Structure 1
Amino acid sequence: MTAAEGGAAAPRREPHGDGVLRGKVAIVTGAASGLGRATALGLARAGAHVVVADLDARGGREVADLVGGRFRACDVSDLDANRALVEFTQETYGGVDIALLNAGVATGCGVGEDFDPARYRRAMGANLDGVVFGTHAVLPALRARGGGSIVATASLAGLAAVPLDPLYAANKHAVVGLARSLGPALAPENVRFNAVCPGFAESRIIDPLRGMLSEQGMPVIPAETVADTVLRILTGDGTGECWFIQPGREPEPFRFRNVPGPGAPVAV
């Protein structure tokens, strides 16, 4: 039995980074491919121990072997599965310092005649419940370490209108709102909560769109660019931030406009 299958821990492979996160313990959901895979590799290079979580057991084990970490099957839309993932990580590495709540799926339907309640619930379960449940499950572990960092994968669809996929925009807007709200709420406990909001990035979600993107000359953001941004967030000190990632631009926190305050009473 290999370490990735849940047996004895494999010998730790030396990361190729500068060790800025050496000794930290990280959970990455949706880590079998795409953005999660790239970030798991980046965390390992930075010195972190990584628990790779995904429903794709084959891909997840492959990534776990690459990073010298452990694999755990997890349906992020299930609260108990999130709790079990955190418990597994604590039992394996003694605690948790970092959680990248990255698992997500495309919606596949709209709100009109094509509305499909099952697809809707699947998308909301992975893209929103997975972040809420993951946060709820990992917070006690972070508190036990005296603090830590959570990064949720949102999307540029969480910062702008997306008429072609309003339900995807809805759950990603919710993740953005959660990050902006939980950032300051958790700061007194030394827990930072931020989000990344990439445009069209290299992942399975964009597979149905590749032809259109190519025809329009729209570049696809490398998964490594998103991973590098996550590492910048983890090694920074900001909280409640939502970092946009767009081709040809330097990633940075999105500057939200303030909501207008109350005005003078309206005469009647």
Structure 2
Amino acid sequence: MTGAVTLITGGASGIGAATARRFHRAGGRVVIADRDTAAGEAVAAEVGGLFVPTDVGEPADNTRTVTATLEAFGRLDNVVLNAAVPGRCGLHDFTVERYRYTLRTNLDGVVYGLHACLPPLRRQGHGSIAVMASIAGLTGSPDLFYAAGKHALIGLTRSAAPALAADGIRINALCPGLVDTPVLAPYRQALRNRGLHLAHPDAVAAAVETVLAGPGTGQVWAVQAGQHATVVPAPEVPLMAD
């Protein structure tokens, strides 16, 4: 990561902030994109990076953030599409507004971020993208539409990898389990009382670094508390002739 420029969405807290700090310690330069201006500016100041107020659900915000990155540092090497929110509804309390609130960040925000970062990465002829999915995208979750969005990110990653390979761009997904972030803070003790282990954000940040620096593309990595990050094989589905 020495000298590399990394754009991190949702970088003001949790996994995103831990990743920013880790890359800074490794000698990298970091851009924090987040809706939380106070926290984003604080993390950026801590790591000597750039903060850009960003709502990833708005395509123009993603384009503006990439432009600001290039203006500040002249290049973009890595992108961590990490911004996410918990689901706002399920099937029993469904509303279009709550459903769209979840998917506009968790799925649309990744698609818009990917679209915005591709032009400079293609011009450079290289780049590495990490998509933050979830274990919920490999199994399921009571948070239905959160899980649905994360399943979609895994499909997006595996499908985009071959299309981007010719441009020298790699894309991989990470699937953390329970992580000790501000989102889970109200439930931390209850989860521990049930015997569930929470990973530290630094452990996920270490996995992000491994994935960005590695040679693979189209891979999906599971990141669980107390375990090494491992690649989850894609299911083999035989193609049926007509």
TM class by shorter chain equals: over 0.9
SS at match of 1:201: coil
Instruction: Report the Cα distance in structure 2 between the residues aligned to 1:238 and 1:169, rounded to whole angstroms.
Output: 25
| Conserved? CA contact 2:31–2:52, under 8 Å | yes
What residue number does 2:53 align with? 73
* % identity of equivalent residues: 43
What residue number does 1:14 align with? none
What residue number does 1:5 align with? none
Instruction: Report the Cα distance in structure 2 between the residues aligned to 1:240 and 1:143, rounded to whole angstroms.
Output: 17
Q: Does 1:89 align with 2:69?
A: yes
Q: How far is 1:77 from its partner? A: 0.2
Q: Does 1:213 align with 2:219?
A: no
Offset from partner CA, 1:222-261 (integer Å, 9 cap, x none): 0000000000011110000111011232111111220133
Q: How far is 1:208 from its partner? A: 4.6
Instruction: Report the Cα distance in structure 1 between the residues aligned to 2:30 and 2:59, rounded to whole angstroms.
Output: 21
Instruction: Report the Cα distance in structure 2 between the residues aligned to 1:47 and 1:92, rounded to whole angstroms.
Output: 17
Instruction: Report the Cα distance in structure 1 between the residues aligned to 2:179 and 2:65, rounded to whole angstroms.
Output: 27
Offset from partner CA, 1:104-137 (integer Å, 9 cap, x none): 000021022x113222111101110111000000
Instruction: Report the Cα distance in structure 2 between the residues aligned to 1:45 and 1:247, rounded to whole angstroms.
Output: 23
Offset from partner CA, 1:64-92 (integer Å, 9 cap, x none): 01111111000000000000000000111
What residue number does 2:33 align with? 53
Q: Does 1:130 align with 2:109?
A: yes
Question: TM-score normalised to the size of structure 1?
Answer: 0.87
What residue number does 1:193 align with? 171
What residue number does 2:127 align with? 148
Aligned length in residues:
242
AA at the equivalent of 1:65: A
**Which consecutive segments of 4 or more residues in structure 1 shift more than 4 A?**
none
Instruction: Report the Cα distance in structure 1 between the residues aligned to 2:98 and 2:183, rounded to whole angstroms.
Output: 14
What residue number does 2:139 align with? 160
Offset from partner CA, 1:169-228 (integer Å, 9 cap, x none): 100000011111111211111000011100001223323532431220111110000000
Q: Does 1:229 align with 2:207?
A: yes
AA at the equivalent of 2:10: G
Question: TM-score normalised to the size of structure 2?
Answer: 0.96
Give the number of the structure whose alpha-carbon radius of gyration is greater.
1
Within 5 Å, give how 1:236-251 maps onto structure 2. Answer: 236-251=214-229
Instruction: Report the Cα distance in structure 1 between the residues aligned to 2:190 and 2:136, rounded to whole angstroms.
Output: 17
Instruction: Report the Cα distance in structure 1 between the residues aligned to 2:169 and 2:179, rounded to whole angstroms.
Output: 27
* Aligned residues: CA RMSD: 1.3
SS at match of 1:61: helix
Q: Does 1:64 align with 2:16?
A: no
Match among 133, 136, 150 for residue 172 of structure 1: 150
Instruction: Report the Cα distance in structure 1 between the residues aligned to 2:145 and 2:34, rounded to whole angstroms.
Output: 23
| Conserved? CA contact 2:88–2:101, under 8 Å | no
| Conserved? CA contact 2:87–2:144, under 8 Å | no
Offset from partner CA, 1:134-171 (integer Å, 9 cap, x none): 00000001112221011011000110022x11111100
Instruction: Report the Cα distance in structure 2 between the residues aligned to 1:211 and 1:108, rounded to whole angstroms.
Output: 22
SS at match of 1:26: strand
AA at the equivalent of 1:155: S
Q: 1:261 to 1:209 in 2, by over 3 A?
A: farther
SS at match of 1:189: coil
AA at the equivalent of 1:116: T
What residue number does 2:85 align with? 105
SS at match of 2:32: strand
AA at the equivalent of 1:167: F
